[in-house]
Amino acid sequence: MLNSIRKTINYAKRNGIKSACYAALERLGDSKVPYVFNAPSDNELIREREEVKSWKLGEKNGGKKMPFFSILVPCYNTPVTYFKEMVSSVLSQTYPDFELILADASKVPVLKQIADEYSDHRIRYVHLEKNSGISENTNKALELANGDYCALLDHDDLLSGDALYHFAKKILGSSTLSESNYPIRLLYSDEDKCDGEGRKFYEPHIKPDYNFDYLLSNNYICHFTAVRTDILKEIKFREYYDGAQDFDMILRVCMQATINSDEKNIVHIPRVLYHWRCHNNSTAVNPESKSYAYNAGRRNVEDNLNASGIKAEVTDLPHVGFYRVSYPDGIFKARRDIGVVGGTIYGKSNEIVGGLYKENGEVMFKGLHKGFSGGFQHRAVCQQDAEAVDLRCMKIRKNLRPLLKEVTGLTYLGKKERMALKSSDEVFETTSYEKETGHRIEIPKNWDEEKIRRESIRFCKVVRKQGYKILWDPMMKQK
């Protein structure tokens, strides 16, 4: 309770009383949504172990090579209870082909005595001569890694017993016998939070499949993540981004995949496999305690975009750790991959009625009040890749504008076309979106919501087939 009050006060200082009231109301509503972590049953764990044995038998008979994981855990003054529970969660994995690398920067090597008590050859403990920061400490663990993939685990968090099983199964399903290396670059799972005792689970983070622009808004990938070791050893962790070093690493791996049109090899496992422990010193409990990490995260996004030849500026959203990317020279000039940008349609009561669509026609965030952000992950206020966006609030790359006419029969009016109309005798209503962007699509008055939605999805589908992405920008809006 005290922590929630502290968060609300800090939010009000940054964003004002009105915004803080909306945030508090939304968080109160989210906290009432029931959640139960359904841990795999004993029978399910037994079945997984038997399935893994069959994989191993296939490998011995000339089948696919079983992936080997190096789990990297930088440790520093880790509470003994948390450390023991973390290690036990790893050793209880139903997939056994891993090594647990503990890079301990604590002055007193108490953790070594505990690690030795397990008498498990998969535990590899190294005591670091000094605490060089999270990035360098993790790099020390990385140097020792022998795995095909390196997985990242915080020293006080917990894995579900089937975490590596699901990762291994996905990796094996992606490879063929003829491949010399596994094609998947990065895997990530859903996660939740747990209390200090590791017994109560809450705030599930059910993540979307790979979404590059949403990743630019925040490190939604986070935990549990595994990266191919050859890639990770090449790029390593960078000390300059300490506090956001995982985000920096993930973004570089993913950006490389996006640039190389290899996004299919950024893989999401839609299961909660990681428990982020929340205690008094945890960022999960008090994000304000690590404001330097969020500053590093903002720098990380801007620097990585600019290093890739994308001129961008990154600013903080009202929610700590969430960012907005803008492009001073215009998004279509900066981002050659973007074909269409769409915004949000609000109804008379300031609720979302359109804007971001799933391919099945569902309006994402439908009915959400303008003052709300969309839950714990604030997705309703973040830029993100989309299946489709709304014709009523849309900007289109110049070379794709004739395609709109071809697909829907509608005319796209850019700034020059609008000026020409204004100098003629034709009079038309100017929407808030048009005032902001200078763009307009003439939509017949007899088109109802369903027709608009259907044609929006149809046009965007054709644009994506042309090889372009659709970007949804919630700050581009029409009321």
Sole residue written with tokens 């399910």: 44
Task: Place 424 in a pLDDT band, splitting at 50, 70 and 90.
Answer: very low
pLDDT at 73: 98
> Is the predicted pLDDT of residue 192 greater than 90, yes or no?
yes
> Is the predicted pLDDT of residue 463 greater than 90, yes or no?
yes
pLDDT at 121: 96
Q: What is the pTM of this model?
A: 0.90
> Is the predicted pLDDT of residue 246 greater than 80, yes or no?
yes
> Is the predicted pLDDT of residue 141 greater than 50, yes or no?
yes
Mean pLDDT on 348-355: 92
Read off the pLDDT of residues 110-125 as tens digits, 9 standing for 90 and up. Answer: 999 999 999 999 999 9
> Is the predicted pLDDT of residue 433 greater than 80, yes or no?
no
Share of the chain above pLDDT 70, in %: 84
Classify domain 42-294 at the CATH topology level. Answer: Spore Coat Polysaccharide Biosynthesis Protein SpsA; Chain A (3.90.550)
Read off the pLDDT of residues 220-238 as tens digits, 9 standing for 90 and up. Answer: 999 999 999 999 999 999 9
Read off the pLDDT of residues 465-474 as tens digits, 9 standing for 90 and up. Answer: 999 999 999 9
> Is the predicted pLDDT of residue 5 greater than 70, yes or no?
no
pLDDT at 27: 64
> Is the predicted pLDDT of residue 425 greater than 50, yes or no?
no
Decide: 291 and 171 in contact? Cβ < 8 Å: no
Secondary structure in 3-state letters for the chain? CHHHHHHHHHHHHHHCHHHHHHHHHHHHHHHCCCCCCCCCCHHHHHHHHHHHHHHHHHHHCCCCCCCCEEEEEEECCCCHHHHHHHHHHHHCCCCCCEEEEEEECCCCCHHHHHHHHCCCCCEEEEECCCCCCHHHHHHHHHHCCCCCEEEECCCCCEECCCHHHHHHHHHHHHCCCCCCCCCCCEEEEEEEEECCCCCCEEEEECCCCCCHHHHHHCCCCCCCEEEEHHHHHHHCCCHHHCCCHHHHHHHHHHHHHHHCCCHHHEEEEEEEEEEEECCCCCCCCCHHHHHHHHHHHHHHHHHHHHHCCCCCEEEECCCCCCEEEECCCCHHHHCCCEEEEEEEEECCCCEEEECEECCCCCECCCCCECCCCCCCCCHHHCCEEECEECHHHEEECHHHHHHHHHHHCCCEECHHHHHHHHCCCCCCCCCHHHHHHCCEECCCCCCCHHHHHHHHHHHHHHHHHCCCEEEEEEEEEEC
Task: Place 420 in a pLDDT band, splitting at 50, 70 and 90.
Answer: low
pLDDT at 64: 85
Mean pLDDT on 284-312: 85
Domain boundaries, the chain: 2-31, 42-294, 331-478
